[in-house]
Amino acid sequence: MSEETTNEATLNDERATRLARRQAIIDAGGNPYPEHCDVTDHVADLAARYAELGEDDADEQTHTVAGRIRAKRGQGKVAFVVLQDATDKMQLFCRIDNLGQEGMAALRKMDLGDVIEATGSMMRTKRGELSLAPTSVRLLSKSVRPLPEKFHGLSDKETRYRQRYVDLIVNDDVRETFRKRSAIVS
């Protein structure tokens, strides 16, 4: 079996897994594509506002952000999620104490590329990373197709031109060029 055939089979398996997760949400009475979300802040605004937040300082104000999951890693009762919205990326520091058992279980079922809404307060982790500590996480859009690999990106020119939306999601330079060009034209 060639490498291309193996890659295609792996992508089909991943897509089948994601479709099964979406169907499980539907079967449980949930909606994988809700019609409304209540975003109160953008990531870049929060990063600028809380740039001076110290490690021991706690923000009592509640913020709601929404964006695409770009990375996810878990360590027992804690999970770290990198969320990217239209303005920037931010880490979500998810603890079982804040989210509860159901919230952490729902977070574990989410995939890279899913669009989520997170509500919580700002904090700084022990490593100094400015993060949102969510008390609730909600799925806004289930991603059925996986994003291209993080390190290799989208390098095939044919795919980049035919699937422009994927290119804009994955490549930061292309997205920034698109924003600048749009601003110049308007």
Tell me the per-residue pLDDT of 57-74, one tens digit each, with 9 for 90 and over.
778 899 999 999 988 998
Domain count, the chain: 2
Rounded distance between C-alpha atoms, residue 17 and residue 15, angstroms: 5
Same domain, 127 and 177: no
Which of 47, 57, 66 shows the shortest CA–CA distance to 123? 57
Do 18 and 37 belong to one domain? yes
pLDDT at 46: 94
Q: Please state the pTM of the whole predicted model.
A: 0.78
Q: What is the mean pLDDT of residues 116-144?
A: 92
Domain, as residue range, for 73 = 3-141
Tell whether 81 and 124 lie within a shared domain. Answer: yes
Contact call for residues 124 and 130 (beta carbons, < 8 A): yes
